[in-house]
Structure 1
Amino acid sequence: MASIKPFKAIRPAPDKVSFVASRSYEEYDKKELKAVLAYNPYSFLHIINPGFKYHRNSSGEERFKLVRNRYLEFLEESTLIRDLEPCFYLYQISKNDFSSLGLFCITSIEDYRKNIIKKHEDTIEKRVSLFKDYLNTVGFNAEPVLMTYEDKTAIRQVLNREIKHTPAYDFTTTDGFKHTMWKVSSIESIQKLEMAFDEIQELYIADGHHRSASSELLLKELEHQKSGNSNSKQYFLSYLIPESEIKISGFNRMLSDLNGLTKQEFLVRLDEFFLIEHKKYMGVLPKSKHQFTMYLEDEFYILQLRKNIIQFEDALSRLDTYILYKTILKPILGIEDLTRDKRISYSQGKADLLELKESIDNGPYKVGFSTAPISIEEIKAIADEGLVMPPKSTYIEPKLRSGLTIYEI
């Protein structure tokens, strides 16, 4: 059973929330980041990028301490405020036909250890250790771990009742997304949500594997040291959404060469595993599982995996990104390590054939591939079997704003 708890959030003052909340740091290019830091003194990016104040690039422990300092300054200046009572926070993000209503809360590291909170991605030990040191110094979680749960009527009923109240925040960002947040402070609603989630057997991490792993590593280190009061460090900030409201897209894969093969030799090698349909200049996204779109030398192809060519043994072997690796990327194009080989690149964000075409026509790439989006059922099956997806298998939405709710640890 999943254990969730309310918490006393540190959050933006209502009149400054639209200025404070930012996209994830990694989503800004250098030019845009510099502009935001120069013209928006309230942006949460000033906390994450504290050296800007001194025109200095800092790293390691020095940077972590400066992050802590900028955070304390935001509190002292009342750009950030403290809630005095533990609450849940409902957060809805919507644009056009997409809408997701989820719950900010804190979740248990013990549930993570017991595999009640389930993972489907591998983590890099060095990165987890770095994040652990960061958390220990700055003393807060600002970007939640995004997790999904099975749709439950009892949870939906509480959420639907709470969103009828006046929201704490209601604003629209320049990218067209509408952001609305409600405080859930009534004891009755808090207890109903805790009891409803107690009936949930598993939570599945959709985004934030390194953040959750670093929180667990920090607690483990403190337990080993037998440090004083580490109760707050037994939890990490999370955002929970029902499975029906998560949106999953794919990544394109682009290769810089054909591993010494000519176009004709490459197509012959593909013929062993795939039925090949030459679409010429008509780009068509994959319409079903085990189907791939390929762009090669100004033309599109549809690759359909031949029947019975692969013996499916588990959830991973059925996954399209894994099939692409096992049939093309590794044996034909010679890509062994999907994370370190510089011959392979991935599109940023949602897969798009125009982006794929332009990257190859105008860039250093020779061939590109697009897959159908992976389903939430596939993600759960991978997690349930304790397996790990290939990197860049999923692009998950919603993408949450940083700094909306902060959990002090």
Structure 2
Amino acid sequence: MQLIKPSASMMAKKKVDTLRVEGKQVIDFTIGEPDRSTPAHIAQAGINAIQNGHTKYTATSGIKKLLLAIQNKYRIENQLDFNLDQLVVGTGAKQLIFSALSVTLDEDDEVIIPAPYWVSYPDMVLLNNGTPVILQTTDSNGFKITAESLEAAITDKTKWLLLNSPNNPCGALYTESELGQLLHVLERHPQVLLMMDEIYENFSYEQHYVSPLAVGRAMRDRTLLVNGVSKAYAMTGWRIGYAAGPSFLIKAITTLISQTTSCASEISQEAAAAALSGDQSCVRETTTLYQARRDVMVELLNKIPGVACATPGGAFYVFPNIQGLLGTITPQGKTLSSDLDVVHYFLDTAGVAVLDGTAYGVPGHIRLSFATDLDTIKYGCGQLSKACSQLT
């Protein structure tokens, strides 16, 4: 436990909540969940589940209704066919990522993690006695790894490549061609598994999301797809994730779940089944709304001297480069030497909470979420602009 640290996003949420209890106004751009409510037809499915007595233990892998909905989702949306024994339901995508690492990592096995990365990935690897191998990317290449950099990072100890597309925190979205090149490298290393975190799949804007298994079938027996209903359907609190992969891996994950959490909530599973099998217009509407918010936030941030914000291809975060602010001096006489200094300055001076890029493996950046209303985005970015104008 001494090797890991609390989740940066969870710690930020705690700090914002504390400040608000103290009566301080805080614009929270750290939020990692949709600001919309769970759609009414999905919430009603959960209410119906309670009223109909669906409040018991379920099969560890999930109720059949939900597994069939997941199977159908992959078939229709991703053109992928999975048998039911190749699917498993968990209490959120996070549990399934952790479980996959737990059932596969031996001591000192390596997991390649491109940076910027979701803050939990390296600590999950450490908790399972593995070694995170951070593969750096840059603004100039859109924060994407290349076939050459992947090849150079693979050793005989490599067990996984853990890829997140669209990416949290930067919104990078791999093209079919880019995925094909990465898969070609992995095909030459039969000991390496691919875990694809697809939780932001639905929030893809100009470019449609492409699953790696739709690109390279040769990796089918070594690829785990991890997804969930939290982001697309505003169901973060329902805690339902799902995974699809080779039956040997799904079986191992299911066995581990049976000895840890037993199963996901039956109520939540009923609601998730309604989400995946019901009207998808709510997802399309949210995606359109978020794209408009993204464009406004990117435009406003790029007007601030010292801030350079690329337009993300997916997810609901921006990851601007703030190195132009480093070395400046605050009205209180403090030099901003790091992105963490900038984060504290924004919170103290502007009343705006953001997250530091260092937590995501790429210093000199900050993460802001646009999963909030336009008025808040405009006001918050205005406050950041005012705070930056006071720097010398």
Which structure has the larger Rg over C-alpha atoms?
1
Greater share of strand: 1
Query: Normalising by the residue count of structure 1, what TM-score does the alignment of the two structures yield?
Result: 0.27
Query: Normalising by the residue count of structure 2, what TM-score does the alignment of the two structures yield?
Result: 0.27
